[in-house]
Structure 1
Amino acid sequence: MTSTTDRPAAYREPSWWDKQGDLIMRRPFNEWTFTHMNWLMPTERVARGATHLPLPVDNQPLDVTYRFENRDYTLAELHRRTFTTAFVVLHRGTIVHETYPGAFSGPRSRMQLFSLSKSVTSILVGIALDEGLIGSEKDQITDYRPDFLGTAYEGNTIAELLDMTTGVGDLETWEVPDSGIKQFEQTIMGGGDIADVVRAATRTAPAGERFNYSTFDTQMLGWVLEAATGQSLATYASERLWQKLGCDRDAYYWLTRGRPRTAIGGGSLNATARDVARVGLLMAGDGVVGGEQIVPQDWVRRSRGNDKPQLAVGALGPSGYDHYGYANQWWTLGGDHFDAFTGLGVHGQYLYVDPDAEVVIVKCSAWPTQDDARRDAETVAALRRVADHFAR
């Protein structure tokens, strides 16, 4: 058991106020909170551009069944069983199916994306590397954030952050009250500097040796990006991504309550499902939008998988499900869907990209729990089936 002397300065014994995160994420309230985070937290706008690029729409019924645990289910059953709030399917750049089962959801609703934000942070890092604002992925974290000298992150590289192989931090589990991620959440909601929580993380493995899913790693990645660009995450995302995509609405990051206020690069982006689908189109199209190369092609390709054995499908260990691999802040799938990959967020947020099938699917949800292996496996089975339907 961790003693009070081992805890970061920002950590306090949890009170009712500290448990806001649990209340925000509890059903049925989360159907409302996941579309109204700007009512609950400070925010910074990710402004869309003056040019709007509408997505073509040919919305039609999608009479598809998928098989899970030796039974066939319809998409309507998927939405009921996995608490879907928004479901948007694009084929060859056209919206071919769109539904919003959530009580407070619609085309203009900005959805809480949780760790799907990590995949967007990776895109922004790829752009910054291409612009020369970040010198190299082999650069050390402390080249940009020298205030982390003397912490477990000293000596780690940007590449290790991208692959989540820093070897820093414990197993990310929401069920353990004193875990690093729960301390992080309580500090975000209740005040204090989350950098103190991250600085207190300890080394649990040699750098590069094993995968350990870590919101701390992506938070560091976001801070490196801000230091390198001289801009906030929201401003850089607006100028380099949101304005280029021709989005429907401004997005936003919610910020920590305590000062210095900071966006959570691993979990606080909120955007409409259609605009998230635009991000998927960017990745399905090798980083090109409207004839302009927004993200380097090689950066997009590396997000579909790599040859590192510790990141292969089925090899992630206790912090990843068996049907996933990992690459560049995206989850890879392998098998018959070798090029398919997905961004994921707790409570059932998905950005599924299948370049071969020319399919992008956004599924937002309000699961009762942060993680659910069974609901995740069922969702992946359904998304694969939808992609196969359009690939025929």
Structure 2
Amino acid sequence: MESSRSRAIRSLAALAAATGLGAGLGAGAMWLWRNQAEVVTRRPINEWTFTHMDALMPTQEVPRSGAPRPLPRAARPLPVVYEYGGRRRTMGELHDATNTTGFVVVHRGVLVHETYPGRFAGPHTRFQLFSLTKSVTSVLVGMALAEGDIGSLADRVADHRPDLAGTAYAEATVEDLLRMSSGAGDEYLEDYPDPSATINDFERAVTGGGSLLAVLKGVPATVPPGTRFNYSTLDTQVLGWVLEAAVGMPIAEYAADRLWDRIGAEDDAYYFLTRERPRTALAGGSFNATVRDLAKVGLLMARDGVHDGERLLPEGWAERARGAGEPHLEVGKLGPTGLPHYGYSDLWWTLGGERRAFTGLGIHGQFLWVDPDADVVIVKTSAWPTADDHDRDAETVAALRAVVAYLEDGR
């Protein structure tokens, strides 16, 4: 039986050859293996890889609901104009400028607009969500708290994962991890352009067969937990392991049983897994789902954790995502690992102001925008040529705010 490594190399080689970026098999295949992260995120290859991660990595399925419930639909055009860079722009210009692959707008529980500019995209396409996965993990942690599997936000990492005792994460609480405030690592922890950054060690362990636990154990403590925001996928990996230990099952099984089934998801989702055995999902970055089903997650948050009259999240859990009330987590106060137009709370990026909207974010332009006051949820998947792009992010924020204003005006 073909190994996941062999299958991945074959898929990478075929894709790179088809797009003129590969050197053939043999030595070229080994080059692809060593440089796979760079190859799969290049344009235009990334439009394929971000919709076909299951061809490259081992996966664990999150089956669709046993009683799928499509969102009601009343599709119509969205002639929104927004201001950015000193001029007025259309939504078509947004999609072109920010490499949109999928875009869905839900207003008052009704799917009112849907478009798929991506080359391999469609209503049943499962998109790689990168760090938007973190916001899904936040929802799952809320469910585990509601059901008593996690005792409280004050539970320490070492309470659930004794193997992490003595590490920089041991004394961090569930709440610290939700707020990216574990105190572990420095501001260069997640510096993708730096080959020596810890996030790249983490990525190499995921794709090349190394040990995630060894990477985590090598991260030093730099400040006391709960005192500084430091964006870190490793924090959420630890939180995912805490969740799995608390509920006694892999995160994919828990997501299927507690979330996907209950919200009436229409399509199977999946987590990709590490190649090293025992394989593990990335609670901070390996969830793949359709935009329609992801919009249902946003709708759950917009409705304060209630779905079809059933409370799935603790009362006030969604409100926490609108702002933590901590000075170091407020908009513009996150420091060098944040963006100036965001704050942070419970694995969501906050927008502040009177509206107090919030969004899940993933590298290369993934958004799950939630505005509870307007009862609007917007999902945008993208294939940016770089992991981070402050201009594309700021333009997207301007456009999504304009969409909300347009819907509120009732036009």
**What's the TM-score bracket when you normalise by the shorter of the two chains?**
over 0.9
Indicate which of 230, 252, 273 corresponds to 1:255.
Answer: 273
- SS at structure 1 position matched to 2:405: helix
**AA matched with 2:375:** E
CA contact (8 A) 1:107 1:272 kept: yes
Aligned to 2:88: 72
Cα deviation, residue 149, structure 1: 1.2
Cα deviation, residue 156, structure 1: 1.4
Aligned to 1:4: none
Cα deviation, residue 70, structure 1: 1.1
Task: Name the CA distance, whole Å, in 2 between partners of 1:257 and 1:221.
Answer: 20
**AA matched with 1:265:** A
Cα deviation, residue 15, structure 1: 6.6
Aligned to 2:192: 174
Cα deviation, residue 16, structure 1: 4.8
Task: Name the CA distance, whole Å, in 2 between partners of 1:42 and 1:292.
Answer: 34
Structure 1 window deviating more from structure 2 (46-55 vs 325-334): it is 46-55
**2:145 equivalent to 1:129:** yes
Task: Name the CA distance, whole Å, in 2 between partners of 1:297 and 1:274.
Answer: 25
CA contact (8 A) 2:143 2:313 kept: yes
Task: Name the CA distance, whole Å, in 2 between partners of 1:192 and 1:69.
Answer: 44
Cα deviation, residue 336, structure 1: 4.3
CA contact (8 A) 1:55 1:94 kept: yes
Return closer, same or farther for 1:336/1:299 CA change in 2, 3 Å cut-off. Answer: closer
Aligned to 1:214: 232
Aligned to 1:102: 118
CA contact (8 A) 1:358 1:391 kept: no
CA contact (8 A) 2:102 2:291 kept: yes
**AA matched with 1:354:** D
- SS at structure 2 position matched to 1:223: helix
Aligned to 1:224: 242
Pairs within 5 Å for 1:282-297: 282-297=300-315
Task: Name the CA distance, whole Å, in 2 between partners of 1:156 and 1:286.
Answer: 27
Aligned to 2:134: 118
**2:262 equivalent to 1:268:** no
CA contact (8 A) 1:140 1:156 kept: yes
Aligned to 2:394: 377
Indicate which of 142, 147, 150 corresponds to 2:163.
Answer: 147
CA contact (8 A) 1:192 1:259 kept: no
Aligned to 1:327: 345
Task: Name the CA distance, whole Å, in 1 between partners of 2:247 and 2:229.
Answer: 28
Cα deviation, residue 79, structure 1: 0.2
CA contact (8 A) 1:19 1:186 kept: no
**2:264 equivalent to 1:246:** yes
CA contact (8 A) 1:193 1:260 kept: no
Aligned to 2:374: 357
Task: Name the CA distance, whole Å, in 2 between partners of 1:207 and 1:33.
Answer: 36
Task: Name the CA distance, whole Å, in 1 between partners of 2:215 and 2:387.
Answer: 21
- SS at structure 1 position matched to 2:391: helix
CA contact (8 A) 2:304 2:319 kept: yes
Aligned to 2:51: 35
Q: CA RMSD in A?
A: 1.1
Could you list the runs of 5+ residues in structure 1 that have no partner in the other structure?
1-13
Indicate which of 357, 379, 384 corresponds to 1:367.
Answer: 384
1:293-334 C-alpha deviation (Å, 9 max, x unpaired) = 111221111111121000000000111111000000000001
- SS at structure 2 position matched to 1:319: coil
What is the TM-score when the length of structure 2 is the normalising length? 0.90
**2:38 equivalent to 1:22:** yes
Q: Which runs of 4+ in 1 moved over 6 A?
A: none
**2:407 equivalent to 1:390:** yes
1:247-304 C-alpha deviation (Å, 9 max, x unpaired) = 1101100000111100000000000000000101100111111111111221111111
CA contact (8 A) 1:144 1:224 kept: yes
Task: Name the CA distance, whole Å, in 1 between partners of 2:42 and 2:159.
Answer: 40
Cα deviation, residue 219, structure 1: 0.3
